[in-house]
Structure 1
Amino acid sequence: MADIHIRRDHRLGLSGARKVAWQWAEQAEADFDMRCTYAEGDDVDEVQFARSGVNGTLRVSADHFELDAKLGFLLGAFKEHIEGEIVKNLDQLLAAKKPAARKKK
């Protein structure tokens, strides 16, 4: 089995992070045929995701996302590619939520 661990800090607060996490879960379901369940907590939310050959958790807090996934034997051979796609998707969602830079006068 291959393990994936990704952490991304953010400044969205828990409310903003929840929106990104919901988008991530919807995208994972649509693009990768994942089954996702979302559980809100007081300080940390968890998105559990699974499909044949992979399962894991995305933890969502006020200042970071932390994803841990386990890949089965067959998907383990594609760990680098899978990890790259997860990073790309999460980074794109986070970039879309960043406030625009203010122009200097």
Structure 2
Amino acid sequence: MADINLIQEHKLAPQQAREAAQQVADKLAEQFELDCRWDGDVLRFERSGVNGSLTLRPNQAQLQIALGFLFSAFSAQIEAKVAAKMRQVFVP
């Protein structure tokens, strides 16, 4: 199992940060057919072989993804794409 842990600093207001997090989740859901749901300030997502969360804190978004065996072979590519998307939406 491979894990991806990313922290993205931001200067967004809470609602803007939530909208940015939703954009990241929408992209992940589209690419990996994930189910996403909000639990307070934590966006949780999962499917067979992938689960994780995107936690919003003041001035910071923390993404944690656990990849199962089949997805772990692509962990470097997944991490690069997700990191780029997080930079794009959290640092306008």
Pairs within 5 Å for 1:65-104: 65-95=61-91, 98=92
Using the size of structure 2 for normalisation, the TM-score is 0.89
The structural deviation recorded for 1:92 is 1.5
Helix, strand or coil at the partner of 2:58: coil
Shift of 1:30: 2.4
TM-score, normalised by the number of residues in structure 1:
0.79
Gaps of 5+ in 2: none
Percent of pairs identical after alignment?
Answer: 35
- One-letter amino acid of the structure 2 residue matched with residue 22 of structure 1: Q
Q: Once superposed, which parts of structure 1, at least 4 consecutive aligned residues long, lie more than 6 Å away?
A: none
Paired residues, what number?
92
Tell me by how many angstroms 1:14 deviates.
Answer: 1.5
Q: Which structure ranks higher in relative contact order (CA pairs < 8 Å, sequence separation ≥ 6)? A: 2
- In the alignment, which residue of structure 1 is the partner of 2:16? 16
- Computed over aligned residues only, the root mean square deviation of the Cα atoms, in angstroms, reads 1.3
Runs of at least 5 residues in structure 1 that lack an aligned partner in the other structure: 99-105
Structure having the higher strand fraction is 2
